[in-house]
Amino acid sequence: MKATCWMGTGNVQVLEVPDPKILNTHDCIVRVTATAICGSDLHLFDGLVPSMMKGDILGHEFMGEIVEVGPGVKNVKVGDRVIVPFPISCGKCWSCEHELYSVCENSNPNAWAAEKMWGYSPAGLFGYSHLLGGFAGGQAEYVRVPFADVGPLKVPDELSDEQVLFLTDIFPTGYMAAENCNIHPGDTVAVWGCGPVGQFAIKSAYLLGAERVIAIDRYDYRMRMAQEKGGAEVLDYEKVDVIDALKEMTGGRGPDSCIDAVGMEAHGTGIAFAYDAAKQAVRLEMDRAVALRTAIQACRNGGTVSVAGVYGGFVDKMPMGGIMNRGLTIKTGQTHVQHYTRPLLDRIQKGEIDPSYIITHRLPLDQASHGYEIFRDKLEDCMKVVLKPQ
Ligand SMILES: [Zn+2]
Ligand SMILES: [Zn+2]
């Protein structure tokens, strides 16, 4: 089959690789009909996530048709059209029983390595480094899906691939980011980053009752989408002092909650950004946390900072004094996707949202490398790339 392989920093190639096989009685094999490139794939592309190996198959946002099931699989069958959540979860451990699917205790065969870095291991993820299991991803013609009874969700025929594909990650991720804000009627929510997750965080904040959403970015086309499709007010952080502007817009008090939908490759202005960029370049700091620090600084006293952007390791210059003295709550996590797929599919079916509006590029799988480049470099007003294997 053809698959998108990580071949080194800034180098992905679509190569012929062996077809996946059922390895465990609870596996299924999915023939991929649509797959997307995620902002977090760019951290892999840019070489910022440790433990990638040449030839690793990328991709954790994918859907398709089940073509084979292991003998232990009960909930899905050959021929079912399914979306597949990006965390691999067993459904039986303590975390899964508490619906904390992204920290499943059974799905990362390289848990020892993650424990060394983070204390405990989270779940294994599709196509996201050996630290997180070394599982082959779904930017390919076929993919093996472990624990097929837990993750894959059958989707109705009347909805197109493009309408349901983002249930695999970014729609639940934006939604969980907003849910973590514990929004009350009348609330103002500020969202850093108008990429795909930021766009869904904006939509979700309104779905959950926010009165006002203010989005922060520097690319016109992304801010335009946040405004026109999301209904957000926007701030360009290269043109205004964001903290001052947010104070001004909220009567001096600050937004009730702040969402970081940027993560470890944040851009910014001023000395703190220069510090992060220099330290990350020489690997003294894993993550550049400019957006996160600004979100913490801007949030009102007693408010919530919700972190959806991906971080890998250690962050310097955390304003812990402000967090503690001003009584902020920080909520975060890889998304517990399986917890959200059904309710969010319901919202799509009811017409409350059609997530396909963020797609700007549809490419054949063969052009994955081009897709990564235009998405990373924000060329052609690229918001979201969907790859189609056939
Ligand atoms: Zn993703
Ligand atoms: Zn589990």
Q: What are 101-129's pLDDT values in tens digits?
A: 999 999 999 999 999 989 999 999 999 99
CA–centroid distance, 137 to ligand 1, in Å, is 11
317-329: pLDDT as tens digits: 889 999 999 999 9
Whose atoms come closest to the Cα of 100: which ligand? 2
162-200: pLDDT as tens digits: 999 999 999 999 999 999 999 999 999 999 999 999 999
CA–centroid distance, 303 to ligand 1, in Å, is 27
Whose atoms come closest to the Cα of 124: which ligand? 2
Question: According to the model, what pLDDT value does residue 281 have?
Answer: 72
213-246: pLDDT as tens digits: 999 999 999 999 999 999 999 999 999 999 999 9
Question: According to the model, what pLDDT value does residue 267 have?
Answer: 79
CA–centroid distance, 92 to ligand 2, in Å, is 5
Q: What backbone phi and psi angles, to 5 degrees, belong to 304?
A: -120, 135
CA–centroid distance, 42 to ligand 1, in Å, is 10
Supply the mean pLDDT for the chain: 95
Whose atoms come closest to the Cα of 58: which ligand? 1
296-353: pLDDT as tens digits: 999 999 999 999 988 887 787 889 999 999 999 999 999 999 999 999 999 999 999 9
The helix/strand/coil state of 154 is strand
What's 11's DSSP letter?
-
CA–centroid distance, 155 to ligand 2, in Å, is 23
CA–centroid distance, 309 to ligand 1, in Å, is 10
CA–centroid distance, 61 to ligand 1, in Å, is 6
Whose atoms come closest to the Cα of 139: which ligand? 1
CA distance linking residue 390 with residue 384, whole number of Å: 19
Mean per-residue pLDDT, 80-91 = 98
Residue linked to tokens 């093996």: 144
- Structure tokens belonging to residue 381: 């007003």
Question: According to the model, what pLDDT value does residue 284 have?
Answer: 62
Whose atoms come closest to the Cα of 88: which ligand? 2
Question: According to the model, what pLDDT value does residue 337 have?
Answer: 98
Whose atoms come closest to the Cα of 137: which ligand? 1
Residues ≥6 apart with Cβ < 8 Å to 346: none
CA–centroid distance, 374 to ligand 1, in Å, is 17
Question: According to the model, what pLDDT value does residue 311 have?
Answer: 86
CA–centroid distance, 207 to ligand 1, in Å, is 21
CA–centroid distance, 89 to ligand 2, in Å, is 5
Of 62-66, 149-153, 278-282, least confident by mean pLDDT is 278-282
Question: According to the model, what pLDDT value does residue 287 have?
Answer: 63
Contact 326, 332 (CB under 8 A): no
Residue linked to tokens 């059209």: 81
Mean per-residue pLDDT, 282-307 = 86
Residue scoring higher pLDDT (273 or 328) = 328
Proportion of the chain above pLDDT 90, given as a percent: 88
CA distance linking residue 351 with residue 154, whole number of Å: 18
Strand ranges inside the chain, DSSP E: 2-6, 12-16, 28-36, 56-57, 61-69, 81-84, 87-88, 124-125, 142-145, 153-154, 188-192, 212-217, 233-236, 257-260, 304-307, 329-332, 361-364, 385-388
- Structure tokens belonging to residue 179: 């849910």
Contact 213, 231 (CB under 8 A): yes
Question: According to the model, what pLDDT value does residue 378 have?
Answer: 95
CA–centroid distance, 87 to ligand 2, in Å, is 10
Q: In this structure, which residues have their CB less than 5 angstroms from ion ligand 1?
A: 38, 40, 169
Is the Cα dihedral 374, 380, 384, 386 positive or negative?
negative
Residue scoring higher pLDDT (74 or 284) = 74
What's 66's DSSP letter?
E
What band does 277 get if pLDDT is binned at 50, 70 and 90?
confident
Residue 270: is its pLDDT beyond 80? Answer: no
Question: According to the model, what pLDDT value does residue 197 have?
Answer: 96
Residue 361: is its pLDDT beyond 80? Answer: yes
Whose atoms come closest to the Cα of 149: which ligand? 2
